[in-house]
Structures are given as C-alpha cells and as structure tokens.
Amino acid sequence: MKTRELVTTRRGLLTGLASLGGLAVTGCSETVPPTYGNLLRMGDLLNYKAQRLLLSTGSLAREYDHRDISSVPAVGTTDPSDSKQGAFSAERGPLYDRLKAGAFQDYRLSVEGSVARARTFSLAELKRLPSRTQITRHMCEEGWTAISEWTGVPLRTVLEACGIRPSARFVTFRPFDEQADSIDMFDALHPQTILAYGMNGRDLPIQHGAPLRVRVEKQLGYKSMKFLQRIVVSDGFEDGGKLGNIQNGWSWYAGI
C-alpha cells in the first residue's frame, strides 16, 4: 500500500513537472524571486536555482512511519485570537475568536487572484476533496525538528478546482495573525504541499494552526503558514508587504 502510494505520488510529481514544462527548471526570469539587493541573499537565489534543477529528476521530502512520530512544540503564534501574542491582528484576531467559538463551522477559506473562479471553501468542502496523509519532519529555522502525521487536501487540488490561470506564478498565504508568506507554483503544485486540517489522526489543534495550515515540506518551518484565511494566486512576485516574512528579514526561499 505504502509503496503503491509512493509510486503514484512520484508519477504525480513527474506529471506535474511535465505539465509545468520548462517554466521553473530553466529559471526564466519571471519565476526567480528578487534578492532585494542584499549580498547574503544571493545565496538564497543559488539555493533556489539549484533546488529547482534537482527537482527536474523528481524530489519528495522523506516520509516516516507512525513509530517515528514525536512531540512538537507550538511555535510563533499559538492562538490568533489572543491579543497578547506578538503577531496579533486587531482586524482578524476577533474574527478568529468568533470562528473558534463556533468550532469553525463558519470558517471559509478564500482562494482568489489569478484563478478562473475565485471562491471560498468550508472545512466540510475541503474534507470532501481527495486527501493525502503524510508523516514528515518539520524543520524549524531555530534548529529543532519534529515528526508528525499531517492529513489534508493537496494545495494543487484546491487550486485546480478554481482553475489556475496559465500566467499564475506565485501563491501567497494570508493567515489570521499579522504574517504573510508566498511560494512559487513549483512548490504549490508539489504533491506533498497540502492544506492540513488533521494532525496525528485528530483535528488540527489550535496551537498548530487550526482549522487549516499549509505544509510546505521542501522548505524550512516558517514557510508552513498556520491559521490560513486567504490564499492569493498571483502572476508576479508578491512579498506580502509589511506583514510578509521577506520584509521582516527572512529568506523568501528556504529550501531544504
């Protein structure tokens, strides 16, 4: 069963790569993120280009067994409704509080931007789409790692349900706290990039990003944005403005 899943997934990845064509692999200029004139950031660009070349042969993050699952610290925002937390949003925090009180029955994920049919998804709708479960190692840039099982819907499935415009290149995640981050289409369509609503066989706990977080398994921990409210597809690179990790001193590309 496991092997068959893996084979299907690898084939899925190859199909994905074929359909992307030379887009990211050849590094055509629109797909290369800016380095913001910082010399140190040139290393990110090299990492980005190297990883995209490696991906042409197909690359999945390692998956583990149930017995490997470890305990995970909750890091960064652990509850967007808590006004004492550093990244509290005065605008979205109270909204999150109401959704949490209603057990996220009224939660809607908005998918917008460079798609043919912008729309929202309830949790029930997301759960009706084909799911993927994966046991992976989270690697935080602070140095700790932890292994968990994640269940969710591939981001690719959700984007395709909205009709990805051929000009689309990047996907930005807008959470309920004061943060934002983006990935390129290559990572967005990667078979292990999922919108997770389950963790270790249960509903995703609040502190780990309820009701929905993304798992970007080929990058460091901070790219796996928790508490998703909106997903914005764009043709050009968006740094997320002052909420974006890039303007707050983080590498945009954190491939591992």
Interacting residues with ligand MTE (CB under 6 A): 72-77, 87, 140, 175, 177, 179, 208-209, 221-222, 224-227
Of ligand MTE, Mo ion, none, which one sits near residue 251, judging by CB under 5 to 8 A according to partner kind? none
Strand 119-122 and strand 202-203: pairing? unpaired
255 contributes a contact to Mo ion by CB under 5 A: no
Minimum Å distance from CB 122 to Mo ion? 29
Q: Which amino acid is at 56?
A: S
222 contributes a contact to Mo ion by CB under 5 A: yes
Q: Centre a 10 Å sphere on the Cβ of residue 4 and count the other Cβ atoms it contains.
A: 8
Beta strands per DSSP E along 115-251:
119-122, 132-139, 145-154, 170-175, 181-184, 194-199, 202-203, 213-215, 228-234
Terminus-to-terminus CA distance in the chain, angstroms? 27
Q: Please, which residue, 114 or 219, has the CB nearer to ligand MTE?
A: 219
Minimum Å distance from CB 14 to ligand MTE? 29
Locate all alpha helices (DSSP H) within the chain, ordered by sequence.
Answer: 2-20, 42-54, 93-101, 123-128, 155-162, 185-188
Helix (H, G, I), strand (E, B) or coil at 245: helix
Q: Please, which residue, 26 or 145, has the CB nearer to ligand MTE?
A: 145
Minimum Å distance from CB 22 to ligand MTE? 32
256 contributes a contact to Mo ion by CB under 5 A: no
Q: Please, which residue, 86 or 130, has the CB nearer to ligand MTE?
A: 86
Chain residues binding Mo ion by CB under 5 A are 140, 221-222
